[in-house]
Structures are given as structure tokens and as C-alpha cells.
Structure 1
Amino acid sequence: MVVVGAGVFTVGYGPPGLRSLLLGGLGTGVGVAAMHYLGMVAMRLHGHVAFDPGLVALSVVIAAGAATAALWAALTVRGTMGAVLASLVMGLAVSSMHYTGMAAVRIELTPGRAPLAGVTAMEFVFPLTVALGSFLFLTAAFVALSPTARERAAAASVDSLPEH
């Protein structure tokens, strides 16, 4: 989320032009690919995980291209048909990156009976629940405390009254 946010910030608030788009897309794509491969390396199994460097590089290029296309679409696509087309292209790009990344993985299993190290279900679910609950609470509070259209209009009419 941070990497995608940084990419959107780079394109949305950086100097307009191709350079911001390419930097935002590259950073976002590399971040997404890093998340994918860190997740793959984090697997606990009886064996060894290796990667095909050529396919890894191709998946990173696809991820950067997909991220750049998504950022470009966010800035330029208007209308329902444009949004549908951009969504289809992005779905294809994300799927391509994922399957290319999966093709890059080589797993050699070594049979064993020893228990694998890892977290319990509660050690995983509790922080996830706290983070999601906090996000939902803060979002609900923001919405609840935001002024309504009527309140904004009333404040605007008070501000526009001449002073005596």
C-alpha cells in the first residue's frame, strides 16, 4: 500500500510529465514485485526455493509496465468504456506478472517430519484484526464527523454575509 501510495503521489503531485509517470510506475512496479517475491521466500517448507533470474526480471518488467499503465489510466481515462478497457488491460497485466513470477519459482522438496517454524493462527489473525478494525473505526469517525452538504452550504452563506 505504501509503494502504490508513493507511486500515486509521484504522479499526482510531482511535476506533470512523462518523467513523473515513469518514476511512479517503476517504483510501484518494483514494490509490487518485491512484495510478491518476499512472500514467496517467506514460505516455510521442507526444501529449498530458487528462482529463474530471467523470468524474475521479466515479471518485474511486467509489473513496472502494469503499474505505469495503471497510473497513466488514472490520470487520463474518462468515461465508462475507457474505465472498462483500462480495467481489462490492468487485469491482464496483473495476471501476467503473477503467472510469470510463479513460473520463475523452483521448489525442491526434502521430505521430513519435523514441525515447521511459523506463527499460530492467533498470532496472525490478531494483528490483522486490530489493523483492520482501527482502519474501519478511523474511516467511520472521519465520515461521521465530516460536515454534511447542508452544513457546508450554511457555513458558506454565513461567510459570504457582509460585515457591519
Structure 2
Amino acid sequence: MEFDHFSYGWITPVVAFFISVLGSLLGLRCTSHARLAEWPVGWLIAAAISLGGAGIWVMHFTAMLGFSIPGATIRYDVPVTLLSAAIAIVFVWIGLSIVVRGRREIVALPIGGAITGLGVAAMHYLGMFAMKTGMDMEYTLGTVALSILIAVVAATAALWFMLHVRGLLATVGAATIMGLAVCGMHYTGMYSMHAAHSAHHAAVAPDSGVAPTQLLTPLIVTVTLVLMMLVIMVGFAEIDERSTRDERLDREPREPSTHWPTTDEVRDRQAADWGLRQPAHRRELSRR
């Protein structure tokens, strides 16, 4: 059967991409604060919620709102859906913890990226498993493997960005790349799925689970509140960090200049001052 991934046009992929970029941006800033904090646990949890919760999980189900199967009713198993969210957040937190606390980046980065990428893939396919369509779902193994590879590479790149990116423009650029990678992994995984009619599930599936619109309302409310809290928290942390840095710079004693001008420099400076004090016609004569 043929699937329609864009039932509402480009609205769902664009909104999903924006949410992924926003979650990635907050995750980058939270991780940056975690690396500088004396107790990084709170910032790592906030980064995991931002990246795993908003940037990956919410992006997935926002994009799934545009997914439809002609002649089939799609519903979602709520416990499995919530389990997929927990997997995304926990695996991202594990990957972040390994990379931020690891002493050797060359070892910690691939391990953390692999764990995070596998968690992202597990969340994605568990979220697809949460769909109740009344049909038998099958997957193309080659495309599934490609989507998992994209997830691992994207997660490793995201962790690298979190370690090395500095500055607002660089952070926005990194978050945009991460959003593109996450969306690319999602639609690659969706492309691997195929469906066939199943008489066994046809009578059961429409009555089980919740409709996508019923899942959307609490999702929007919850995510909006969480993102607002994270934005406020990161904003206050940025202001506090900037004020602390300014105070530290003001308190640092300024070292006196240790450069003593040479005789030639003094002579040239005196000649320049004398030339500026002369009338224009005398300066012309002195040059001749």
C-alpha cells in the first residue's frame, strides 16, 4: 500500500524541523553550561529533555501527524508512545554524560554517539510500533540499517557540536544541521515501512489507542510549558554568566605596559608632533 507522509502539505515537516532545531539549540546551550558547572547533573538532564524530548521525540510525532494510510484509521498506543519518549531522553542523557565527563574525547565521543544514535533509532521504531492501523507492517532491512547509521552519525555530530561550538551564530548553525539530520533520519525510517491488509487486526485496531489529534493536544501543551521553562532557565543562566564574566574582568588588575620605546621611536614621535604644530607652508619646506 502507498503511504502519504504529507497529508497537510509542508506544514508538518516545517513545524517538525523548527521544533527539532529549537530543541537542539536548547540542548547545545544546556550542555555548554553543564561543562562549566560544578554540579552538571541538572544541566545534563535539561539538555537530555531538550534534545531527546523536544528535538527528537516531539519532532517525530509532529511529523507523524502528516502521515496517513488511505482507507485506514491510525491510532496510537499511549503507554508505548510514552515509553518511546523515556527511551529518547534516557539514551541522550547517557550519551551526554559519557561525552561531558569523559577524559579522552577520542574514546568518549564514538561511544556516546553510538549509544545516543541507537537510542534515537529505538525511539523512532518504537514510536512507529505504537501506531495501530489494522494492517501488517513490514520494513526494508537495508533502509532500516541506513536510518540507524544516520541516527548514529547525527548523534555523534550533535555531541561533537556540544563540545566545540561557541558563539550564538555557530550554535544556531549547529542546531540547524542537527535538525536536518534528525528529520532526515525520521523520513528515511518512514520510507522503510510497508503495509499490507490484515483481517486479524482490522476489527481491533480502530477501537484501541487514541487518535492523532487526541495525542496532539496534551503534547502541545506539555512541550510548550517545558520549552518555556528551559528557555527561561537558559536565558537567566546566560545573563548570570555574562555578568559574572564582566565582574571578573573588572576585578582583574591591569598589568602595566612593559614596552619601553626605543630612541628611534621617540625621535619619530617628536618629529611627528613638531610637524603637526607647524603651519602648512613650514611643513612643506621641512619636507623639501
TM surpasses 0.5: yes
| 1:63 pairs with one of 132, 144, 151 | 151
1:16 deviates by 2.6
- Residue of structure 2 equivalent to 1:14: 102
Q: Flag structure 1 segments of 5+ consecutive residues without an equivalent.
A: 144-148, 150-164
Which has the larger Rg?
A: 2
**Does the residue aligned with 1:32 lie in a helix, a strand or coil?**
helix
- TM-score normalised according to structure 2 size: 0.41
Aligned partners of 2:132 and 2:209 also within 8 Å: no
2 CA distance for matches of 1:89 and 1:96? 10
- Residue of structure 2 equivalent to 1:114: 203
2 CA distance for matches of 1:118 and 1:21? 42
- Residue of structure 1 equivalent to 2:162: 74
**Does the residue aligned with 1:21 lie in a helix, a strand or coil?**
helix
Q: Flag structure 2 segments of 5+ consecutive residues without an equivalent.
A: 1-88, 234-239, 241-288
1:79 deviates by 0.7
Give the number of equivalent residue pairs: 131
- TM-score normalised according to structure 1 size: 0.69
**Does the residue aligned with 2:149 lie in a helix, a strand or coil?**
helix
1:120-147 CA-partner distances (Å, limit 9, x unpaired): 68xx98xx89xx7xxx8xx9xxx9xxxx
User: Is residue 116 of structure 2 the alignment partner of residue 28 of structure 1?
Assistant: yes
C-alpha spacing 1:120/1:58, structure 2 compared with 1 (3 Å)? closer
- Residue of structure 2 equivalent to 1:86: 174
**Does the residue aligned with 1:15 lie in a helix, a strand or coil?**
coil
Identity of matched residues, %: 42
1:40 deviates by 1.2
Which segment drifts farther, 14-23 or 25-34? 14-23
User: Is residue 128 of structure 2 the alignment partner of residue 40 of structure 1?
Assistant: yes
1:92-119 CA-partner distances (Å, limit 9, x unpaired): 1011101100101111134676242534
2 CA distance for matches of 1:47 and 1:30? 26
Letter of the structure 2 residue corresponding to residue 114 of structure 1 = A
